[in-house]
Amino acid sequence: FRSLRELRKKSNLLRLLLGVAVLLFTFTACSKTVVTVGINRWPPCEIWYVAEKLKKPGRLGIRLKIIRYPSWRSNTESFYEGNTDVTHSSYFNFVYYYNRGLKGYLGVVADRIIGADGMVTAPSITGINELKGKRIGVEVDTDEYFLLYNILKNHFLSLKDVVLVSINSSEAGEYLKSGDVQAVVTYEPFLSEAARFGRRIESTLQYPDIMQD
């Protein structure tokens, strides 16, 4: 453990790996040989493949089976339907489904998200107030939806003032490019992809405390 503590000070990656180990440790009491982990296309989820390659869980008598879902929502719902043992989720997604009566246990909070999630508008939109009555693409019932709620509220608008278009976060750039929506809310790397076709207008830089991984 001495060497791990020394390396931990130098590497954010190791810090996340140690968090993964904490999650996996909780399953030793169950004596499970295979732990299924639900992830989606959000980049920090890739840490599970690192854990799988390092074979560290093997020391606990288990191995990982990683299942990738196309969206936050499908990943989280699959977890609460009992299809996976662990899900890599944001804090909001966890609380949202927990409050609907679907129970789970929070194992570790890895970080706060500052700047990696945000809104991109069409080039013609120069301010949030111009979005009233406009179409906004967002993955509903996720933390992106919660971020949109906060952005609108901060500019004296509500979700009822806009037209919501349900999309997967990874599709944000396509929808903005086609003109099907006038704004999107998504996360990296899809945030930067969408910004190629519009204007990055606000992000979690302005809302640093509302999103945790």
pLDDT at residue 150 tops 90: yes
The 3-class secondary structure across 16-33, one letter per residue, is HHHHHHHHHHCCHHHCCC
pLDDT at residue 7 tops 70: no
List, for residues 113-131, the tens digit of each pLDDT value. 888 899 999 999 999 999 9
Q: Could you tell me which of 48, 51, 113, 53 has the C-alpha nearest to residue 87?
A: 48
Q: For residue 92, what pLDDT band results from cuts at 50, 70 and 90?
A: confident
Higher pLDDT, 6 or 162: 162
φ/ψ of residue 48, rounded to 5: -70, -35
Higher pLDDT, 48 or 135: 135
pLDDT of residue 163: 98
Q: Could you tell me which of 15, 176, 79, 206 has the C-alpha nearest to residue 90?
A: 79
Task: Return the ∠ at Cα 186 (arms to 104 and 45), rounded to 5°.
Answer: 45
pLDDT at residue 100 tops 90: no
* For residues 153-174, average pLDDT: 96
pLDDT of residue 187: 92
φ/ψ of residue 151, rounded to 5: -60, -45
Q: Which range is most confident: 31-40, 99-108, 179-188?
A: 179-188
CA atoms within 13 A on the CB side of 17: 18
CA distance 121 to 185: 9
Q: Could you tell me which of 106, 79, 78, 80 has the C-alpha nearest to residue 92?
A: 106
- Give residues with Cβ within 8 angstroms of 3, minimum separation 6: none
pLDDT of residue 56: 63
- Give residues with Cβ within 8 angstroms of 154, minimum separation 6: 128, 206, 207
Higher pLDDT, 94 or 159: 159
* For residues 176-199, average pLDDT: 95
List, for residues 193-206, the tens digit of each pLDDT value. 999 999 999 999 99
List, for residues 14-70, the tens digit of each pLDDT value. 455 545 544 444 444 455 688 899 998 888 888 888 888 876 656 667 788 999 998
